[in-house]
Structure 1
Amino acid sequence: MTGTEQTDERPPDAEALAFLTRPGLTRLWTAARTRLERNGLRPAGTIRLEHLDAQAREALSLLLARPITGLTATIRLPDLDTRLRASAVGRSLASTLEELGPPLTDRRAVRDAAAAERARLRSTVQTAVEATSLSAQPWTAQWLEEIRRGGTLARQDPDAATTVIAQAVHTLATLFPGTEARPTPASWGRGELATRATGSAHGLDDGTLLSRLVLRGIALARGVAFPVDAPARRALWRMVSVTPDEVSSTVLAYGLRPVGGTWREAALRERADHQMETHLTLRELRTLSLKMPPGTRVHVCENPRVVEAAADVGRTAPLICTSGSATTVVLTLLDTLASAGCTFAYHGDFDWPGIALANRIMHRYGAESWRMRAADYEYLATRTQVVGTPQIALTGPPAEAVWDAELAPTMDALGIALHEEAALDLLLEDLG
């Protein structure tokens, strides 16, 4: 029996149990449960029941062996406990409540245990810091205070919290060795640093608790704001000579003809002249000069098939593919082109995730819609029905299109999802 003493109390017989579960006693048991859980499961204090109806007064009178005639009753929990033990129920108040409902929770004990765990964790953190070079760093005290105030560690499993704080301290001590010689290599790959701290190359990936703790320490050490997006996180890592993975993710580009004079820009122009697509990494984008001819209009699509088809038929317009939801490397390229004065036209899937992505691109870059209006959707939907194309049902939560108030209602009315390939011939016309 959770939270109560083990006794030889007998279970109530069927008749007693039927009486205890009468509707007229429901409020009594609810109030008694609340009070016991606050009192460390001890039957102490009183409860007050108001606005009693006839059914409740009758049930309480029978249970307490005294008449309850008014609309209000005050009940001493020690008396109720004694009455239950001496009656046909034959059980304490705590045991009765557990018989009637879920196990009781000693909320006072839970609070005390949580406070003790927070104190233990603070002590563990402090001990870990004092054993490293971080104890000499002027920002460490603020880092520890922010961890305490944030409460994130306290909500973790105790063993997991102890592990992650030890890893965070180890990682920051590696990056800020104080008076010690800086360990080699002087520059770290983030995966290499993560392996050193956690045994896993992904231990410092974005979104992990460990990466957030370490980045908060780096931000305090460098006196900058905590990063709120992926580019800012990468920039912060580079401040301490840690290189995030900048080669595994790529953005698909086609027809880019930058005017820069290095071999990199020349290579892009040559690939564009030969109708060849290019996969650009973040590492390349950091070294490229993507100054474009004045007034360059860049088309942006969602699906790689559009790029493939444009290359197959020798289209020449610049084209960038988001490959579904635009990742950091995609946004980095578009940001660079926007800074170079390019304008954008966007087309994606006619489904709700596609509309949500289009909203983000159009809002961020002031892009125009590219065959993405209600009339375009209605024409394509009708065409697929006429030629007998199997229909895909439109599912998920609707999204309003910021560029055309009529698009979402039209899509909702027809209920058909259209992938970008349904408009491929029209898109290729525009890319000539």
Structure 2
Amino acid sequence: MTLPAQAMGFLAQPALGRIWTKVRDRLERNGLQPAGSVRLESLTAAEREALSLLLGRGITGATAVIRLADLDARLRSTAAGCGLVTAVEELGPPLTDRRAERDTGRQARASLRAAAEAAVAGSPLAGQEWVSGWLDDLRRGGALGRLLPEEAAGLLRQAVQVLGLLRPGRDEEVTPYGRGELATRVTGTAHGLDDDTALSRLVLRGLARSVGGEPPEHAPGRRALWRSASVIPDEVSSTVLTYGLRPAGQGWRRRALRERADHHAETHLTLRELRALEIVLPSETPVYICENPRVVEAAAEARCAATVVCTSGSASTVVLELIDTLAAAGLPLLYHGDFDWPGIALANRLIRRCAARPWRMAAHDYERLAAHVRSQGTPPLPLAGAPVEASWDADLAAAMSGLDAALHEESALDWLVADLAPED
């Protein structure tokens, strides 16, 4: 319906501007129902005159209270010939039913939460304590509320799928991923988890929740959080330190590795290189895994012939990728690390993951090394943290607790290099 020109001219006059602003706000809060009242204060003479004509009654004071039902009835009985809602919309812009929006929003949030809980229930995230807090964060954040319901539900299902791959049940090993690879698996595009995507933000919030932290605000923090979940943001920035790696087969990459091994040179391999190599070693080739890069350095200096992979501390995604490949090929793996509680925890994880054999990591090895260190006059370094039982030797934790000495790999270099078979 269109207001008659004469009525539009009267209703749109500046002197009635304040009343329409007040009425519009009240209608939108009322669910577009002409109920309740509005109050105008400090009226000017022009506003009093215009309101008197609009309402059909004299307005003489500086304050006026207008009932919306009365104004609705007045408009219907005059030349305007329409109700209050129509008149206000004709004056523009269109009205918004805020009450209906709130109800729709509540229903959408409830539906989204139900869909998210259903997705979680069918995933490895089921029963993990941090998940409920993560879902609450998403509801309070409001980011999903700005999306269409189908789009928001699909995004949540993808986030649950990603987190289920990165935060599986406690007894399951985490599979290392490149971020592009993970994104392709879940979204179909390698850019699905780029920093500027809503999915990346949802997943990072979940990863932060899973470790009791807050989502990082800056790029270095985001990269560190991805790496903590065995995801590397790219396939070239992180490397695994190797020595004596002689893969069989043709191709310049394999030949280059064999040549470096022949010249007793260590090699840093990126994830991209590993996936291009498809490393195959001669059967029954023992692979020695160490924790400290100093072991690789000593092996190179001694011109050892053995194959060595270094975790460089807690094994990163690219390290795990190589170790998994070697384990899948059935090669015998031997692991040595630090004799401290974090070192024992890392050894437990790797030995369980790839069925490695402990390498000079028994209780008697620890006791012998402790005696050797004492004989050299090296100041003792006490153990820190809670004791960790070694899965391969029930006596090791007790021996370590009894001597209370942390022994790092550097103190065992001579013995380890001897095992790595120096060339004649």
In the superposition, the TM-score normalised over structure 1's length comes to: 0.53
Match of 1:415 in 2: 404
Instruction: Show the counterpart of 1:396.
Output: 385
Residue aligning to 1:296: 285
Task: Select which of 228, 231, 248 maps to 1:259.
Answer: 248
Amino acid corresponding to residue 300 of structure 2 in structure 1:
A
Q: 2:294 aligns with which of 305, 319, 343?
A: 305
Q: 2:119 aligns with which of 132, 135, 146?
A: 146
**How far does residue 403 in structure 1 lie from its aligned partner after superposition?**
1.7
Q: Deviations over 1:165-191 (max 9, x none)?
A: 658957967x99xxxxxxxxx944456
The one-letter code of the counterpart of 2:330 is: G
Q: Provide the residue aligned with 2:419 in structure 1.
A: 430
Q: CA offset at residue 326 of structure 1?
A: 1.6
Q: Distance in 2 between matches of 1:251 and 1:118?
A: 54
Paired residues, number: 266
The structural deviation recorded for 1:366 is: 2.2
Structure 1 residues 352 and 165 mapped into 2: Cα distance closer, same or farther (>3 Å)? farther
User: 1:36-115 maps to which residues of 2 (within 5 A)?
Assistant: none
How far the C-alpha of 1:315 sits from its partner, in A, is 1.2
Structure 2 contact 244–262 (Cα < 8 Å) conserved: yes
Q: CA deviation at 1:248?
A: 2.2
Could you list the per-position Cα deviations for residues 333-368 of structure 1 after superposition, in whole angstroms to 9, with x for gaps in the alignment? 111111222111110000011111111222222222
Structure 1: state its 5+ residue gaps.
1-116, 130-139, 177-185, 212-228, 235-242
Would the alpha carbon gap of residues 364 and 206 (structure 1) be closer, same or farther in structure 2, given more than 3 Å must change? farther
Q: Give CA deviations for 1:74-100 in whole Å, capped at 9, x if unaligned.
A: xxxxxxxxxxxxxxxxxxxxxxxxxxx
Change (3 A) 1:164 1:418: farther
Q: CA RMSD in A?
A: 4.0
Question: Would the aligned equivalents of 2:332 and 2:356 in 1 still touch at CA under 8 Å?
Answer: yes
Change (3 A) 1:188 1:157: closer
Q: Is the 8 A contact 1:125 1:165 kept in 2?
A: no
Runs of 4+ in structure 1 off by over 3 angstroms are: 117-122, 140-154, 164-173, 186-192, 201-211
Q: Distance in 2 between matches of 1:344 and 1:190?
A: 36
Question: How do 1:170-249 residues align onto structure 2 when only pairs under 5 Å count?
Answer: 187-189=189-191, 192=194, 194-197=195-198, 205=204, 207-208=206-207, 245-249=234-238
User: Which of these residues, 344, 358, 370, is aligned with residue 369 of structure 1?
Assistant: 358
TM-score (ref. length: structure 2): 0.54
Identity %: 47
**8 A Cα contact 1:307 1:319, kept in partner:** yes
Q: 1:144 to 1:348 in 2, by over 3 A?
A: closer
The answer (yes or no) to whether the contact 1:191–1:245 under 8 Å persists in 2 is no
Query: By how many angstroms is 1:206 displaced?
Result: 8.9
Flag the 1:430–1:206 CA change in 2: closer, same or farther, 3 A.
Answer: farther
Counterpart-to-counterpart distance in 2, 1:254 and 1:430: 14
Contact 2:287–2:306 (CA<8 Å) still a contact in 1? yes
Aligned: 1:274 with 2:255: no
1:123 equivalent among 102, 108, 122? 108
CA contact (8 A) 2:133 2:209 kept: no
Match of 2:136 in 1: 155
1:296 to partner: Cα distance: 0.4
What displacement does 1:405 show?
1.8
